[in-house]
Amino acid sequence: MRLSKEDYKKAEGCLRRYNYNCITIMNIRADIMSIGAPSIDGMPKAPYSISDSVYNQYIKLQEDKELQRALKEYKIVRQALELVNADCKEIFENYYQKQRNRWETIDKLSLSERTFVRRKTELINAVHKELEKFWRENGVTFQK
């Protein structure tokens, strides 16, 4: 199956943004969780009740659009990695995560150039299938 140029770029973009998404998720969660200050109003609190600051942090975690987008792409890539073979996983690790160039990756994995291209295409197709599945589940329309 050959993807259109637009679909290929969307799927590869998810792979390229993987590290950025991981950092974004950690930073936004750390920022939101560190905001809370205890409310000191002089009134006694129930020992096991949820304070307003904790509740507000929970709401911010649920409503932060950048965090939700990063989580969505992170989950899509992780799911796609579960569905591909070991060569594709190693290509993802070396080419996309460690950001080695094409020839360093080929040399490191002892692959031919053609095998590298096939495995990379398999990985991108797997990500695209997961993107399509996500779009269908959430009612997002897309064009073929």
Residue 99 binned pLDDT confidence (cut-offs 50, 70, 90): very high
Rounded Cα gap, residues 38 and 141, in angstroms: 44
- Confidence (pLDDT) at 39: 53
pLDDT of residue 136: 86
pLDDT above 90 for 97: yes
Q: What confidence category does residue 57 fall into, taking pLDDT thresholds of 50, 70 and 90?
A: confident
Residue 32, pLDDT above cutoff 80: no
Q: Where are the alpha helices (DSSP H) in 36-137?
A: 52-63, 65-83, 86-91, 102-109, 113-137
Buried b (16+ CB within 10 A) or exposed e, 100-121: beeeebbeebebeeeebeebbe
Average model confidence (pLDDT) for the chain?
85
Average pLDDT over residues 50-77: 82
Check residue 56 and give its pLDDT. 76
* Residue 143 reports pLDDT greater than 70: no
pTM score of the predicted model: 0.77
Residue 35 backbone class (left: φ over 0; alpha: ψ -120 to 50; beta: rest) = alpha
User: What are the structural domains of the chain?
Assistant: 5-38+51-137 (1.10.10.10)
Q: Which two tokens stand for residue 76?
A: 């899509």
Q: Do the beta carbons of residue 36 and residue 56 sit within 8 Å?
A: yes
- Rounded percentage of the chain residues whose pLDDT exceeds 70: 81
* Residue 47 pLDDT exceeds 90: no
Between the CA atoms of 75, 70, 103 and 110, what dihedral angle is there, to the nearest 10 degrees?
Answer: -20
Average pLDDT over residues 101-129: 94
The 3-state DSSP class for residue 104 equals helix
